[in-house]
């Protein structure tokens, strides 16, 4: 597609990739790939190349004989992978790749290493991270801002941490109106409407967890034009626009004791299913209608992670080193960049749970490149996700 010339599987592995590895990407990739064993990519009906993490680099070797894991991929899908239009998860879950040998999920584990090898994207290391505030002091990752704080300070924090919380953007009366509108939208939702996610609790009850598009509610109709929100998004100076062609106002309801469905989300980035090179940076803006904390269903961020690849081994812990719990009050707003690693964990309390609105701003014209309505359509029908559909992953 325009701006993304097709990448030839053989030429890339024989010439382009070794050059990138020798120029420094090999050491970056090794940091992500060590411990993963050797993985070979086999072009459909064609040759294979093995990625071998050793000697502080990743060597590319013709053939698949010595590989622990062998994965078959079409030339077109490999081109998209190497252009960062496709992500490993977006190829894996809908069965676009075929695992010929080894542990299937190794293909997913290699995604951060490919970003290092292909693009020079470094690996997230909380011990090496050195985030600074505008005066050069260590950044406090739990800092929040008042609405009238200087915009350059808000911009600096958002660009450095990958997220920012702004307090009391909406007042109590507005939040009350939003909660009523959310309840009205919930009353209209049904499992058959193709506009909602549902979870099943451990007692077998089906519960609404998300309304994908609720902009028909009068209280939400003009929300994307609210100058308070656009003022915050515009700090980036990127000309981002509300995602009017996607889901414009999404409503999220946390529920307890979920046995099935995507009510909670593990560590992820919002472009984790694909489209990074086309879309990012996307800004996802959350308006908290109720408190956000560990009890109500916490939203967690990994400060500074938007500039790095994150090894899956790091993210197996619920609270990896350096992660921050966003503790917000009703009326607060967070913005996070689509590349920032974040997670939404189950509520632990018994009181009012988290309710949020999510709005998205994207670069002009950013749409999926392969005819899907959303990259997250790739995990429709994924085993283990029998009820909810992840059409977007903003949390
Ligand atoms: Fe998300």
What lies within 8 Å, CB to CB, of 60 at 6+ separation is: 13, 17, 18, 21, 49, 50, 51, 52
pLDDT of residue 126: 87
Q: Per-residue b/e over 50-87, b at no fewer than 16 CB within 10 Å?
A: bbbbeeebbebbeebeebebbbbbbbebbbbbbbbbbb
- Residue 109 near residue 80 (C-beta atoms within 8 A): no
340 Cα to the center of ligand 1, angstroms: 9
299 and 204 housed in the same domain: yes
| 86 pLDDT above the threshold of 80 | yes
d(CA 138, CA 261): 39
54 and 102 housed in the same domain: yes
Residue 127 falls inside a structural domain: no
91 and 153 housed in the same domain: no
Q: For the segment 94-122, what is each residue's pLDDT rounded down to a tens digit?
A: 999 999 999 999 999 999 999 999 999 99
Residue 393 falls inside a structural domain: no
268 Cα to the center of ligand 1, angstroms: 6
pLDDT of residue 377: 55
pLDDT of residue 370: 61
What's the CATH code of the domain at 153? 2.60.120.620
> Residue 352 is part of which domain span?
145-379
261 and 151 housed in the same domain: yes
99 and 152 housed in the same domain: no
85 and 218 housed in the same domain: no
105 and 158 housed in the same domain: no
What lies within 8 Å, CB to CB, of 372 at 6+ separation is: 378
What's the CATH code of the domain at 88? 3.30.1050.10
pLDDT of residue 14: 97
- Mean predicted confidence (pLDDT) in 362-376: 67
219 Cα to the center of ligand 1, angstroms: 24
Side-chain-side CA neighbours of residue 198 (13 Å): 15
Residue 385 falls inside a structural domain: no
According to DSSP, residue 191 is labeled T
72 Cα to the center of ligand 1, angstroms: 29
Stated pTM of the model:
0.88
158 and 303 housed in the same domain: yes
342 and 301 housed in the same domain: yes
- Residue 360 near residue 284 (C-beta atoms within 8 A): yes
Q: For the segment 313-354, what is each residue's pLDDT rounded down to a tens digit?
A: 887 777 888 999 999 999 999 999 999 999 998 999 988 899
232 and 351 housed in the same domain: yes
Residue 130 falls inside a structural domain: no
178 and 91 housed in the same domain: no
163 Cα to the center of ligand 1, angstroms: 12
99 and 183 housed in the same domain: no
Residue 390 falls inside a structural domain: no
Residue 219 falls inside a structural domain: yes
pLDDT of residue 311: 85
pLDDT of residue 372: 56
**How far is Cα of residue 319 from the mean position of the Cα atoms in its chain?**
17
343 Cα to the center of ligand 1, angstroms: 7
Residue 125 falls inside a structural domain: no
Which of 170-174, 235-239, 336-340, 383-387 comes out lowest in average pLDDT? 383-387
**What is the count of structural domains for the chain?**
2
393 Cα to the center of ligand 1, angstroms: 4
């Amino acid at each position: 597609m325009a701006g993304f010339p097709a990448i030839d599987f053989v030429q890339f592995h024989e010439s382009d990739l070794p050059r990138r590895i020798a120029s420094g990407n090999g050491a970056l990739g090794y940091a992500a790939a060590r411990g993963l064993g050797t993985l070979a990519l086999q072009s459909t009906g064609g040759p294979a190349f093995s990625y071998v993490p050793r000697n502080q680099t990743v060597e590319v070797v013709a053939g698949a004989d010595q590989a622990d894991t062998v994965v078959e991929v079409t030339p077109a899908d490999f081109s998209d992978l190497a252009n960062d239009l496709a992500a490993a998860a977006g190829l894996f879950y809908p069965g676009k790749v075929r695992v010929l040998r080894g542990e299937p999920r190794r293909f997913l584990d290699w995604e951060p290493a490919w970003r290092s090898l292909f693009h020079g994207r470094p690996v997230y290391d909380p011990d090496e991270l050195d985030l600074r505030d505008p005066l050069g002091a260590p950044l406090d990752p739990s800092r929040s801002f008042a609405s009238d704080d200087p915009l350059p300070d808000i911009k600096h924090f958002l660009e450095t941490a990958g997220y920012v919380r702004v307090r009391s953007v909406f007042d109590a009366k507005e939040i009350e109106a939003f909660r009523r509108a959310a309840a009205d939208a919930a009353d209209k939702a049904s499992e058959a409407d193709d506009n909602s996610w549902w979870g099943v609790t451990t007692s077998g009850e089906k519960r609404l967890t998300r309304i994908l598009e609720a902009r028909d509610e009068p209280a939400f109709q003009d929300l994307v034009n609210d100058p308070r929100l656009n003022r915050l998004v515009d700090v980036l100076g990127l000309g981002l626009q509300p995602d009017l062609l996607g889901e414009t106002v999404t409503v999220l309801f946390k529920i307890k004791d979920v046995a099935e469905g995507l009510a909670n989300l593990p560590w992820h980035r919002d472009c984790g299913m694909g489209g990074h090179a086309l879309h990012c940076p996307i800004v996802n803006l959350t308006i908290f209608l109720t408190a956000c904390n560990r009890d109500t269903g916490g939203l967690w961020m990994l400060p500074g992670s938007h500039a790095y690849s994150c090894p899956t081994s790091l993210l197996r812990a619920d609270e990896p080193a350096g992660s921050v719990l966003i503790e917000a009050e009703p009326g607060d707003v967070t913005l996070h960049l689509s590349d920032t690693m974040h997670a939404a964990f189950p509520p632990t309390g018994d009181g009012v749970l988290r309710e949020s609105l999510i709005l998205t701003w994207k670069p002009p014209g950013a749409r999926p490149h392969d005819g899907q309505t959303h990259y997250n359509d790739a995990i429709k029908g994924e085993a283990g996700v029998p009820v909810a559909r992840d059409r977007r992953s903003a949390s």
